[in-house]
Amino acid sequence: MASSLVIVESPAKAKTINKYLGKDFQVTSSLGHVIDLPSGTLGINIEENFKPEYTVIKGKKKVLTEIKKAVKDKQRVYLAPDPDREGEAIAWHIANEINSKKLEIYRVTFNEITKEAIKEAFKHPGQIDLQKVNAQQARRILDRLVGYMISPLLWRKLFTGLSAGRVQSVALKMICDREAEIKAFVKEEYWSVTADLLTSAKASFKAKLRQYNGKNITISDADTAERVVEELKKLPYVVDTIKKQEKRRHPYAPFITSTLQQEAARHFNFSANKTMMVAQNLYEGIEIGSEGITGLITYMRTDSTRIAQSAINDARSFIAKDFGNDYVPAKPNIYSTKKMAQDAHEAVRPTVPSRTPDQIKQYLTSDQYKLYSLIWKRFIASQMKSAVLSQTTIDITAGAYSLRVTGSIIIFDGFMKLYMEKSDKDTSDDDSEDKEGFLPDMKEHEMLTLKKLTPKQHFTQPPPRYSEATLIKALEENGIGRPSTYAAIMSRIQDKQYTQKIKGKFHPTELGVIVTTALTESFTGIINEKFTAQMESELDDVENGTKDWVELLKGFYEKFNSNLEKAAKEMKITPVPTDIACEKCGKHMVVRWSKNGGFLSCSGYPDCKHTSNYTKDAEGIIVPAEQPKVLEETCPECEKPLVKRQGRYGEFLACSGYPQCRYTRPINQSAEEAVKEKSPVKLTEEKCPKCNAQLAERTGKYGSFLACSKYPKCRYIKPEETAVRCPQDGCDGSLIKRKGRRGKPFYGCSNYPDCKFTVQSLEELENKNSGNES
């Protein structure tokens, strides 16, 4: 029998670890957190130094019971959740639940799920890091204070169901700020002029007009462009200077969480959430032929670029073997980690550098293969030599004008042989002539021949909207959030309908703009990038032991509570104005929101209460939706007029009383036909004693029965009568078949509640009567 219990947070991780440990170990999982703040209340005693009121998470009581049961006959418990703040908190909560003087409780951490890493971790078990636990507690309480105290304020001012978050709201603010920049941006026209030229050897190339009289030239309109072109046609073209420079392009650092999410989005259009799910699978283990379940990558939640020396050595050996010694740098490439990084783990890398993607492709899903390939290539390339390029810049004179052309030649491809990072740049304005390429041979002072001149109109572009990749990059650069939070942030701002993705870019909804405006006006010092970044830094200080977590919370709450009290009195939700006139009073309509979504409302409310739905045209402009046609026919359920509406599958009839009444039917179907189709039952001549509608034969879990045909509006069910008289003295009722709370049938008196006689079966009643007679 196993004498030690190992507790991890994931069943897949448990399965992988189990094969590396001997018969003395039993491995089980907690399925994530088992203890947390309660879901229905704040769960924080602010007066008692923000003491959290922890409780067992709904649905996890059974898991915790199984863990406690497994611990009973064990001598040692090894807590092995993920090696981050959340994992440390999981370990701490479980330790508190199973704590016993008889038990030896240890904490083990590992960066990769391989046999060597697991064995090494269990050779050197440690203790729970309380500083890391306190950092997690502080973050959890901060998020709870913001979420549970600001969200109800939004409910009162707007509608129930909205949410605010310490990091989420700042990410939304950044999207809204960018949208405001785009709307305020005024495009400016400018022109470029490109010359097609020939060398003396008749080789062609293109050069772009750059300067006039030694100063950068700006051409703002077509007339100026045409004048410049006419002047240039008359001038001789001479090679002025040729400059050649050797440049080195260094390899990229191995992935951290944020860069992995960015590159997966650029290469495969993966969401941050999908990237983390697939990475989790690769980390916890995949069934790889004779190797069995094998962890393929190191821990994927990290902000450190540090790499273990053994992995560097393996990568260098692989590069020498597969690419040649020319691709191996004299010394290993070492990458600096950002100042705010926690540096608790290595970068994301393959656990076995020599395990190429193609070797294991047959065992991976398409998404797993794509992500593993990306991680593997990035890591191997990070230990290859820099690429060497020769860049040539040629300046050409034409009178007082100057033109330039630049070209690059790859002398040595280095890491570029294996991997190149994708760009976030928007290439919608195609300046193909700007792209560097090979240049023909020419000499200084050489005369050139002009073939043609091409003027081209351009417009300055507004800053691009954020994609998931660029938003994660911006959050990281501003020190907002942590690797483990980015995926949740991306999902949250979409789930709450604060943003929507259009062609992969975040667009704030009207609701998102309304909420952001209200929050930033009322919580200026809290819902902003600098404060959120400062808070992340202070949480790091708690983990490092240089700041007390309770003092951090006190400092935050003092300012937060003051803002909250002020906002409760002064926060105003400003509707989004439109140019649409109200049909009833002529005032402008505005966009307001309810739990059912946005709608147009008269700005003269409450004097004018006219409302209507709206849609958006191809350019995103709000336009009133066509009003549904009101019919003479009334709803058979509530007697309000029916209206004709347009749905996903065409026109249909619906009650005008929606959402209170949700009656609908196909446009070509009668009310009687709809009743028969919706309720495939046989109508009887018997009437319902409650609403006088016909009773219908229905079939349920426990057999057939009679019920009102107007269900669910009328829920009458006819009891099954028997000819057996109630045996109670003085009662003239008969026994009726009924169903108990759990569906089990029994017989009770028809005079209930005056008579409460019951019996489980008629046979039981007969037996009782027989016994009495004898």
Its sign, for the CA torsion 20, 26, 29, 34, is: negative
**Closest C-alpha to 150, from 572, 569, 568:** 568
Q: Where are the beta strands (DSSP E) in 250-308?
A: 286-288, 292-294
Cβ atoms of 63 and 34 closer than 8 Å:
yes
- Kindly state the tokens that stand for 496: 């709450």
C-alpha distances in angstroms, 26 versus 21, 55, 322?
9, 26, 41
CA pair distance 700, 156, nearest whole angstrom? 43
Phi first, then psi: what are they for 395, rounded to 5°?
A: -100, 135
Cβ atoms of 260 and 347 closer than 8 Å:
no
Find tokens 């169903």 and name the residue. 739
Relative orientation angle of helices 85-98 and 61-71, to the nearest 10 degrees:
60
299 is catalytic: yes
Instruction: Count the alpha carbons within 13 Å of 449 in the hemisphere toward its beta carbon.
Output: 8
H or E, element range at 440: none
CA dihedral 288, 290, 291, 297 (to 10 degrees): -20
From 20, 283, 299, 401, the catalytic residue: 299
Other CB atoms within 10 Å distance of the CB of residue 400: 11
- Burial pattern 757-767, b for ≥16 Cβ within 10 A else e, equals bebeeeeebee
Cβ atoms of 6 and 17 closer than 8 Å:
yes
Helix count and strand count (H, E) for the chain = 19, 37
CA pair distance 457, 223, nearest whole angstrom? 11
Catalytic residue numbers, as ranges: 299
